[in-house]
Structure 1
Amino acid sequence: MINKKYDLIVIGAGSGGLGASLGMQQMGMDVLLIDRNPENIGGECLNTGCVPSKALIHLGKQLHQAKLAKSLGLEVSGQVDIEKIKEYIKVKQESIKDHENITYLRKKGLDIELGEASFYSKDSIKIDGKIFQGRNIVIATGSSPRIITIPGAESLPKFTNESIFEIDFIPKNFVFIGAGPVSLELGQAFSRLGSKVSIIDRGDRILKKEDPKISTILQDRLEKENIQCFFNTEVSKVKGKCAILKKNSGEEESIPVDAIFMGLGRTLNFDSLALEKAGIKTEKGKIILNEKLQTTNKQVYVSGDAADNLKFSHAAEMHNMLLINNFLSPFKKKLDFDHFPWVTFTDPEVATFGQNEAQLKEKGINYERLETNFREDDRAVTDNFEYGNLIVFIEKKRFNPGNAKILGGSMIAPNAGEITQELVLAGVAGIIISTFMNKIYAYPTAANIHKSLLREKMVSQLKPWMKEIIKKWYRLKE
C-alpha cells in the first residue's frame, strides 16, 4: 500500500539532495527528502568536509601569519589550544546549520523522512515499513573516505575527513597518506598548528590532476614550510612509533609517526538501496548513467558524489541545475564539464577551470598555451607572491587572435579561486580575449595578470610589416 505519492523523492540530504529537493519544491512540486538521521543534513560538505576544513585552514593561516610577523620584531609565544580550534569550527558549522536543518527545511515545505531507505519497486521507496511513490527519484547518497589496513598501526590514532575534526590533540609527527587536495589542505593546516607533517603518495607528484608546473610550485611552497613529501612510496607497516616507508625501488625508510590521516579517495554509498528492485544496473561498483544523469531505470537519476564523476559540492550544484531543467523543460541538456572549475584551498591556492591540455589534445582542439608568472605583477610584489603562475589555454586563431575564446587554465597564487572567476565567466560566456583589453583594472589588483597575459599574446601577433604599416599611417595622418 502506497502511503503517499510525490512528484520527486530524493534520497540523501547532502549537497546533491538538498539542491535537487529545494529546487523542485520552489517550483511548486511535492517533494520528499530522505536521510538516515538528522545529523546528516547538509551532508559531508557541512559536517565533515568543505565547511570545517576551510575554518581550520583559516585558523592555520592566522597562526602562520603571526609567526611571519617575527620579521617585523614581534614575538609569538604559547601553545595552540585544540579545544578552541574545535570550538571555532563548531560555531561556524552551527551558523550554516541555521538553514540546513530539519525544522528549517520543513518550514520551506519539504516532507522529510528519517531512516534507512531502499527501493521497493521501480518508482517507490520503502522506509521503516512505509512506502512512498515518486514520479521521479534522485539518488544523492554521497560517498565515504576509503580506508586501508596498515600492519602494526592498530594502536595509532587514524583519521579521515569524517573524524579529523573531533581530534583532541596536535600530533607531533603526522603522516598523511595521499597527495590529493584533502591531504594537502589539512596537512598544511596541521603543520601550521604545530605538527611535523609528512605526505606519502604512490604517485610521482602532488595534485596529479593539475598541470605539473603548478604542482611543482605548490610542492616547493609546502616544503618551505617544512612539510616533507615522499613519492613513489607507500606505508608498508608501522613499528612502534615509526612508519616504515617502502619505495617503488624496494628501498625502505623509517620516519616517526604519532597519527595517520588517510586521504585516499572515496567509495560510493548505495549498497543498502536494493537497486536491483528498481532495475538499476551497476558496473564495477558504480551506477550506470547516461549524459543526463539518468540510470537504466528512466525514472531514477543521480546527483552529487554518487554520480562518481567530479566529487565537489559545486559539481552537485551543476548536477541539480541539469536535473531540474530536464525535469521541467522540453529542451533537455546533457552533462558538460568543459567549463567546470575547482580550487585546492592550500596557501597558495590552486584554481583550475575548463579543459586541461590533455583533454584538449584528446579532443583534437586547436589551442595555444599561454603562461606567465607574477614576478612583474605589482600586487604580487607588494604582497610577496611573485612565485605565482598563470596558465591559460585559448583557441588558436591564425588571422585574428583577438577573437580567440578561453578554453581553460590554472593559477597558483593566494586567493587564486577568487582571482580566476572572471576567466571562468569568460569561458562560459564565450567572451573573446580582445574584450579584456577594454577592461580597466583597479590598480593594483592581482587580476590584472589576466589582461597582461592576453595583451602580450595579442602584441606578439603583430608582424614587422604590420608595425610598419601602423607607423606609416600614424606619421601620415593629419
Structure 2
Amino acid sequence: MTDLTCDVAIIGAGTAGLAAERSARKNGARTLLIDPAFNGTTCATVGCMPSKLLIGAARAAQDARGAGAFGIRTSVGVDGPAVLQRLRKLRDDFVDATRAGIAKLPEDSRITARARFTGPDRLALSTGDTVQAGAIIIATGSSPMIPPPYRDLAGLLTNDTIFELEDLPQSLAVIGGGVIGLELAQAMARLGTRVAIFDQGDQLGGTRCKVVQQVLQDALSRELTLHLGTNPEPQDDNGQTRIDWDGGSDKFDKVLVATGRAPNLAGLDLEKTGLSLNDKGLPEVDPETLQCADAPIFLVGDANAARPLLHEASDEGAIAGRGALAFPARVPSSRKTPLAITFTDPPLVSVGAAPGDGAKTGSADYTNQGRARVDNRNTGLARIHASAPDGRLIGADLFCPGADHMGHLLALAIAQGLTARDLLDQPFYHPTLEEGLKPALREICAAVPLQIPGDRDTGSPPGA
C-alpha cells in the first residue's frame, strides 16, 4: 500500500475530468487522474459521435428519397449492417483519438483504479493505495436510467448498447421523448425502421415554447408514431416486446429506453465526506465554482446532472480545476450563454433564457423561406425573445433548417448584449437561412420601438 499525495485529485477521465486535470496542471498543480479503465469519453464512445454517425446515414437516405423534388430519380435501399459497420469504424477512430490524448498525459499522474472517499480530502483506491489531496474533483459521468419495468426485457437497448447492433431492427419502441430519444428515433425511422415514441408527458425534446413544440410534434408525426401522455407497460412476448398503453397495444423487435442518464455516484461513499446529500444522493453545488458547500470537493460534468452537454462539461472541468487549486479561496467564474442543440432534422435549438413576463417575442416561419424552399427543407419556425423596453436579445427557440448554426449566432448576440436592431444592422447575405431570421427581429423592433435610432433595414426580397 502506498500513501499518495497531490494538490488536486480528479475521479473520472471523461470530458469534464480531462478538462479539470488539464486546467489544474496548467496552473501549477500536482495532479492525479483516477479512472478504472481510461476507455475514452461518453461523447466519443456512446454519445455525440456515434449518434451523429447514425443521423448522418439517415440524412443521406432521406435526401435520396427527396431527390425527386429536384427532378432527380433515385431508388433507395438501406444496408443496415453496412450502416452500423461504418458507424462503429468511425466511432472507434474518434475513441482512439481520445485515448491517444489521454496517453500523452504524464504517466505518474494517471492511476487505473476505482476511488472512494474516506474523508473530505482522502480517497481509498481499489489498488489498496490511498490518496491525500488538497482538493478532489468528481467527474464520474453518467449512465442510462432504466425504469424497473424495462430492466429484464430481452429486446432492451440504451444509447450505451444500440450502436452495437449488427443490423437495424424492423420495429423500435422509444421510451422517452427527450434529446436522445428524438435523435435516435428519427434516425432509425429514416433508415427504414418502424418507430413509435412513448412519453408520459406531452413535451418533446425539452422545448420551452409551446408554439415550437407544436411545430416539432407535427413534423415528427409525419415520420414516426407519437404516443404522448401515455403510461406504457412492457412485457416480453414470443421474441418481441409488447407495449400496452391507454387505448392501445403494439409489438416491437427492440425497445430503446431513453429516459435520461443518472450521475455515476454509487460506490464513491459520499456520505463519508461530511456533505449533506439530497434524496438523489447529490450534494449542493455552487454553479459559479462547482464546489460542494465549503468542502474541498468539486462536482462537474454529467456527474452533477446540471448541464449534461459536452461543451458545458469541458467548461465545468476548467472552472473546477482552477478552483480546486485555489481552495480554500473561492474562485467564481461566469458561465457561457446556455446553448442546447437536438440534432433532429431540422435541428431543435434553445439559446439563452426563456421569455419572462414583459418580454417580446418575434417569429419567423420557415415554410415559405426562400433558401429553405430552394433546398426543399422548408419546415419549421424560429422564435426570438427580447427584453422590454430596450429590445435586448435574451433567448431563442428554433426548429428550422440551419438552426444548429444560427443558434451560435444568436448566442454570440446575446452574450454581446445586442438588441434586435443591432442584429438587423448586420449584413444578412441573400439567399441564406440566416436571412430568414429578419421577420422575427423586425417584429421585436415593432414591439419595442425605443431601440430604433433610425430605420436602416432595407428589407428582403419576397419569400426570403
**Normalization by structure 2: what TM-score?**
0.88
Shift of 1:341: 0.7
The equivalent position to 1:96 in structure 2, one of 94, 99, 115, is 94
Higher relative contact order (CA 8 A, sep 6+): 2
Name the SS of the counterpart of 2:429 in structure 1. coil
Q: Conserved in 1, the CA contact under 8 Å of 2:173 and 2:254?
A: yes
Structure 1 residue aligned with 2:225: 228
Q: Which amino acid aligns with 2:34?
A: I
Asked if 1:458 corresponds to 2:445, the answer is yes
Which runs of no fewer than 5 residues in structure 2 stay unpaired?
A: 455-464
Instruction: Please tell me whether the aligned partners of residues 70 and 76 of structure 1 are also in contact (alpha carbons under 8 angstroms).
Output: no
Deviation, 1:126, is 1.8
Q: Secondary structure at the match of 2:267?
A: helix
Give me the whole-angstrom Cα distance separating, in 1, the residues matched to 2:158 and 2:334.
30
Matched, 1:161 2:153: no
Contact kept? 2:144, 2:262, Cα under 8 Å: yes
1:293 and 2:285 equivalent? no
Please name the residue that 1:272 is paired with.
267
Q: How far apart are the structure 2 equivalents of 1:335 and 1:281? A: 25
Q: C-alpha displacement at 1:136, in angstroms?
A: 1.4
1:425 deviates by: 0.8
State, as a whole percentage, how many aligned pairs show the same letter.
25
Query: Quick one: distance in 1 between partners of 2:15 and 2:111?
Result: 17
Aligned to 1:211: 209
**Which residue of structure 1 lines up, in the alignment, with residue 423 of structure 2?**
436
- The aligned amino acid for 1:267 is A
- Is the CA contact (8 Å cut-off) linking 2:22 and 2:318 kept in structure 1? no
CA distance, structure 1, for counterparts of residue 153 and residue 96 of structure 2 = 38
Q: Residue 37 of structure 2 corresponds to which residue in structure 1?
A: 37
Mark the CA change 1:104 to 1:341 in structure 2 (over 3 Å): closer, same or farther: closer
Corresponding position of 1:316: 313
CA distance, structure 2, for counterparts of residue 462 and residue 253 of structure 1: 52
Q: What SS does the corresponding residue of 2:331 show, helix, strand or coil? A: coil
Mapped contact 1:233–1:245 kept (Cα < 8 A): no
Structure 2 partner of 1:9: 9
- Equivalent pair of 2:10/2:20 in contact (CA under 8 Å): yes
Q: Provide the residue aligned with 2:461 in structure 1.
A: none
CA distance in 2, matches of 1:276, 1:457: 51
Contact 1:293 1:303 in 2 (8 A): yes
Where do 1:353-364 residues align within 5 Å?
A: 353-357=351-355, 360-361=356-357
1:129 alignment counterpart: 128
1:381 alignment counterpart: 373
Structure 1 residues 196-220: Cα deviation after superposition (integer angstroms, max 9, x where no partner): 0000111123224432222221222
- State whether residues 216 and 380 of structure 2, in contact with CA within 8 Å, keep that contact through their aligned partners in structure 1: no
Cα 1:100/1:408, change in 2 over 3 Å = same
Q: Secondary structure at the match of 2:137?
A: strand
SS of 1:100's equivalent? helix
- Report if the CA contact (8 A) 2:395-2:414 is conserved: yes
Deviation at 1:367, TM superposition (A): 1.8
Shift of 1:17: 0.8
Larger radius of gyration: 1
Provide structure 1 residue ranges, at least 5 long, that are not aligned to the other structure.
468-478
Shift in Å, 1:169 = 2.3
SS in 2 for 1:261: strand
Deviation at 1:143, TM superposition (A): 1.3
String of CA shifts for 1:269-324, please: whole Å, max 9, x gaps. Answer: 11111122222331112322232321245211000111121222222123224324
After TM superposition, the structure 1 stretch with the greater mean CA deviation from structure 2, 9-18 or 233-242, is: 233-242
Distance 1:298 1:242 in 2: 47
Residue 204 of structure 2 aligns with an amino acid whose one-letter code is I
The CA distance in 2 between the partners of 1:106 and 1:460, in whole Å, is 56
1:100–1:91 CA distance, 2 compared to 1 (3 A)? same
Trace 1:103-142 onto structure 2 (pairs within 5 A). Answer: 104-109=101-106, 111-127=109-125, 128-142=127-141
Match among 394, 400, 412 for residue 413 of structure 1 = 400
CA spacing shift, 1:320–1:215, aligned 2, 3 Å: same
Higher alpha-carbon deviation: 229-238 or 73-82: 73-82
CA distance in 1, matches of 2:193, 2:367: 32
Counterpart-to-counterpart distance in 2, 1:169 and 1:90:
12
Q: Secondary structure at the match of 2:187?
A: helix
Structure-2 separation of matches of 1:173 and 1:230: 15
Contact 1:286 1:308 in 2 (8 A): no
Matched, 1:281 2:280: no
Q: Distance in 2 between matches of 1:106 and 1:347?
A: 37
Separation in 2, partners of 1:405, 1:94: 44
Structure 2 distance, partners of 1:228, 1:27, is: 52
The secondary structure found in structure 2 opposite 1:439 is coil
Cα-Cα RMSD: 2.6
Alignment correspondent of 1:476: none
**Mapped partners of 1:393, 1:455: distance in 2:** 12
Once the two structures are superposed, residues 24-60 of structure 1 have per-residue CA deviations (whole angstroms, 9 ceiling, x without a partner) of 2233322211111132x22x21111111101111111
Please say if 1:393 is aligned against 2:385.
yes
Counterpart-to-counterpart distance in 2, 1:179 and 1:288:
28
Match of 2:460 in 1: none
